A = this chain, B = another copy of it.
Amino acid sequence: MEPIKVAGITFRLDATKPFYEQIVAQVCGALARGELGLEERMPSVRELAQLLKVNPNTVMRAYQDLERSGLLVTYRGQGTFTTNKPEPVERIRRELAHGAVQDLVGVMRQLGLSREQTMTLIQEVDWE
């Protein structure tokens, strides 16, 4: 699957997780990295559905999740836009980072690895 770029967001869907979760994650990522700015117009539900080759309901679900998180706002009849407030973006950013760290620590503890051993493993990873 080749990535699909639209409105500053790069989408790449696979079969490993639900589509709507992947859409949410990738919009979050674009916002967190600043590739998608505040108060920007999102692709319409139908347009994005067509681009990603998924059902409009699936995009709807993702947009509604993102709206509940405060990242998107919708104006009936007008469209869906990114929030104009930086706070929700920062909050989600922190939440995602914290959750990922907690997941890692959970696994490492279950394996009996120390913080130092974990740090060493992270040092060995190609970052980008």
- Which residues does A use to contact B, with CB under 8 Å? 25-26, 28-29, 32-34, 93, 96-105, 107-115, 118-119, 121-123, 125, 127-128
Contact = CB atoms under 8 A, between A and B. Distances in A.
How many monomers of this chain does the complex have? 2
Nearest to A117: B97
Determine chain A's interface SS by DSSP, over half rule: helix
A122 B101 contact: yes
5 contacts: A33-B112, A97-B111, A99-B107, A101-B125, A115-B125
Contacts of A110: 25-26, 28-29, 32-33
A115 B122 contact: yes
Nearest to A102: B125
B109 A128 contact: yes
Nearest to A99: B107
Given A97-B108, A104-B104, A105-B125, 16 more contacts: A26-B110, A29-B112, A32-B110, A33-B111, A34-B112, A97-B107, A97-B118, A100-B104, A100-B108, A101-B118, A101-B121, A102-B125, A103-B103, A105-B122, A109-B127, A115-B127
